[in-house]
Homo-oligomer: A and B are copies of this chain.
Amino acid sequence: MSADPSARRGIPDATVARLPEYLRALTGLAERGITSVSSEELASAAGVRSAKLRKDLSHLGSYGVRGVGYEVDHLAYQISRELGLTQDWPVAIIGMGNLGHALAAYSGFATRGFRVVALLDQDAGLLGQEIAGITVQPMTVLDELVAEQGLAIGVIATPAASAQEVCDALVAAGVRSILNFAPCVLVVPDDVDVRKVDLSTELQILAFHEQRKALAAEGALGAVALEPVKPELNRVVGR
């Protein structure tokens, strides 16, 4: 049992998911030359309530000053450290189709603690081609990437039909964190984390709410609105 006050492990998943947004908000403030910020201001910049922000930050330690607020640089550093962004994580993108091309060209990786170390594809016609300054390689280099570059994160941008196969290859090579853009469920061992980004799902959730709004408007024409309007600030469909 360590007595270190910051050694509190077990940050809730919901909090971890919001830390990147706080970090982004802090970066924006720092760029505007702001050095100190209250929980109210930062929460507003990040699109959450101040109580939630404070509780989230309390899980990392006590970095605020009562009556004043948080020092922007220091808090940004603490969040970066907690997220493991004080080092650069090597990332490989697999599947250089439409989406893979866009991802490879995306500058948002480098600015946020990630480094694209490889672009992989199965298509012989793509191999050797250069995309965004990186040569496309075959899947066989995976073991080497893990051993020599410390590859830790794989991004799957292949069609759904190939995704599980690619996933298995990543896991076999030792990659334990996977970001999946293919619309399918991946089966992985317990120690591997998978996160999914799914455009269709997001659109379908929007469609559900859109339909509800359309029906509500229709209903309101002939009768009193079935549901009272909920006054709510800055409504965003919760996840």
Contacts and interface: CB of A to CB of B under 8 A. Distances in A.
A160 to B, nearest CB: 9
A239 B101 CA distance: 27
Contact of A185 (B21, B105, B106, B204): B21
- What size tier do the contact residues of chain A reach? 35 or more
Interface stretch (A33-41, A61-69, A191-199): A191-199
Most buried by B among A16, A84, A187, A226: A84
3 nearest A-B pairs in the assembled complex, by CB-CB distance: A84-B211, A47-B185, A98-B102
Number of copies: 2
B210 A206 contact: no
A13 interface: yes
Contacts of A3: none
Contact of A200 (B47, B112, B195): B112
A237 B176 CA distance: 12
A168 to B, nearest CB: 14
Interface in A92-139: 98-99, 101-103, 105-106, 108-109, 112-114
A83 interface: yes
Nearest to A25: B185
Contacts of A102: 98-99, 101-102
Nearest to A196: B236
Interface string A198-239: 111111111111110100000000000011011111111111
A173 interface: no
Interface string A158-202: 000000000000000000111100011111111111111111111
